[in-house]
Structures are given as C-alpha cells and as structure tokens.
Amino acid sequence: MKHFLLSLLTFNQLIALDTIHIYHCYGNDETLIVEGRVLDPREFKEAHEKDNIFVNLRRKLGQIFNDERKNVNVTLQVEEQTFQTQSDDEGYFEFALTFPPHTLKPHQPIELYLTKEPQVKSTCRAYILSDQKQTGIISDFDDTVIVSNVTNKLKLAYELLLKNYKQREVVDGMAERYKKILEKSPDKPLFFITGSPKQFNEAIHKFLDYHHFPKRTLITKKIHGDDAYSVFKQHSYKSEQIETILKLYPQIEWVLFGDSGEQDREIYLDIAKKYPGQIKEIYIRDVKTGQIERIYP
C-alpha cells in the first residue's frame, strides 16, 4: 500500500520551488490575522469534469501529503513595518498582530517572505472590514453548500477522495441566496468556517469560485502541527473561530448557515445565547431532505 501511494504521488508531478501558501488574511483597522504554511509543493494539472477516480485520487493525495519547510523564519511586511515568526514542525505559521486604531485599510497589501530567502515570497490583500453597521454571513461548507454526506463515512470518503471540485454537487440556490443577503452590505462580509483540513483550502476555494459564490474568507482546520485541533471535535473548534469573528466585528449582524449532519444547530444556538445582539438569523439545512429551516429567532 505504501509503494502504491508513493507511486501515485510521484507520477506526472513537477517539483516546484518553496512556496508560502497563505490560508487567510483578515482583520479590522487595528487587528490583522494571517495564517499560512511554508511548502515545497507538488504541482498538478487542472481538474476536469471527465477526470477518472484514479486521476482524482492522485491529485488529492498530492494535496494531503506535502513537503513542508519546518522551523524557518517567516517575515510579514505591512506598510514599512516588519514582523517575524517561525514555522512549526509541519511548516505552519500564524501572525496575530495589533496596531494603533485606523492603521489598516480595506484591501491592505501584505507581503510575506522567508527571512533568509527573500526571493521566496507571497502577497495578499487583507480582508479588512469597515466599522459600518451591516449584515454578514458565517457559513459551514460540507453539506451546507456542497453535498458531502458527512454522516455516511463511505460516501464522504468517495466524495472527498475520488471526485474533483468540478464533479462535486453544489446545494442549489445557495450562491444566489448569499448574494441576496449581502447585496446591501457595503463590505459584503462572508466567512466560511469548515472542519475540512487546511490541505483542502485551495480545492474549496476553487469549488466556491466555480459555482459563483461571493468573495470570502475561508477558515479551515489545522489537524496537525503545533496547536492542532482534533479531527473529530467540532464544537470547540467552530465556537472559537466564530467568536473570534464576532469580537473583531461587533458592528455586524450575522446570518449563520449550517446543516444537521454534525453539531451546527447546537453550536449556533449557543453562540446566539452568548451574543444575542450580533446574531440576526440562523438557518440549518437538513441533510436527509435538503430542506433549509430558519431556527433563530
């Protein structure tokens, strides 16, 4: 089995230069949160609707098994200021920075590079929201906007490993629904919080783009390395991520979307009790019937 997996990973691959992969980059006018990973990545061909299960499996394994750059110094530059941190044993790094009020601007340009290898760099524009009162969305991903069959582990594995993002089934009408909710919000705040591992970050973004979802910040789960979350414990992970967003943006009323497959109902209702002034509505999609029900208020 080991030799089979290695052959899948090495077949038709191109080894690229070290890369700083940015998972998310967001905040408000005085707080910036950036997470990423330093990798020596494997590059694969673009997915197609007619790709077979073997092509899909090979590509998926390439996403899961990465050659990480451990314990290297990473520098973040914003305006004229620089900050440093170090990647952990799995190549992950995080910046949680605080500035004087009104320092960070919408679409604030950020540059990251390896301190000792400045030619290895990556850039992003931070998702900085204004202080205007508006409506935003916090959404789950699996079985909320994509059909994953999380409650059936065999079906879940088939969907996850043997299909690419162009072959996966979207939940009808969700992209249009999100656009409608956000149409009057100047910043159109949209966050996806999912228990999917960070290795699938890019594939999730591609799925959301392919089905015309609005621009968003995607928060995926770190399942190994320093301060990793358990694969199976969702409640504490999702609660912590949602509370971080609510504290960053107290001016925003949030609409929460989840599904009945795991613990979204319980998590969201607990959040609504704790932050009643910030939760506008909660919707849960029933994974058996596909019906979407408003459960709050």
Q: What is the CATH number of the domain that holds 209?
A: 3.40.50.1000
227 lies in the same domain as 120: no
Among 127, 160, 188, the domain-final residue is 127
What backbone torsions phi and psi does residue 85 show, to the nearest 5 degrees? -145, 180
195 and 106 assigned to the same domain: no
* Single-letter residue type at 131: D
Q: What is the pLDDT of residue 198?
A: 92
In the numeric block, the tokens 């009808």 are attached to 172
- Determine what percent of the chain is predicted with pLDDT higher than 70: 92
Residue 21 domain boundaries: 2-127
Residues 272 and 145 in one domain: yes
Looking up residue 31, the CATH number of its domain turns out to be 2.60.40.10
φ and ψ at 272, to 5 degrees? Answer: -65, -35
Question: Cα dist. 105→112, 170, 219 in Å?
Answer: 18, 34, 21
Looking at the fold, whether 120 and 148 belong to one and the same domain comes out as: no
Q: What is the pLDDT of residue 182?
A: 98
Q: pLDDT truncated to tens, each residue of the chain (297 aa)?
A: 444 444 444 433 334 457 899 999 999 999 999 999 999 866 656 898 998 998 888 888 877 777 788 999 999 999 899 999 999 999 999 999 999 999 999 999 999 999 999 999 999 999 999 999 999 999 999 999 999 988 888 888 888 889 999 999 999 999 999 999 999 999 999 999 999 999 899 999 999 999 999 999 999 998 887 777 777 678 899 999 999 999 999 999 999 999 998 899 999 999 999 999 999 999 999 999 999 999 999
What tokens were used for 179?
């656009």
Model pLDDT, residue 270: 97
Q: Which helix (H) or strand (E) holds 244?
A: helix 235-248
Question: What pLDDT shows up at residue 237?
Answer: 93
Written as six digits, the tokens of 34 are 């950036």
Domain count, the chain: 2
Beta-sheet pairing, 14-15 with 279-285 = unpaired
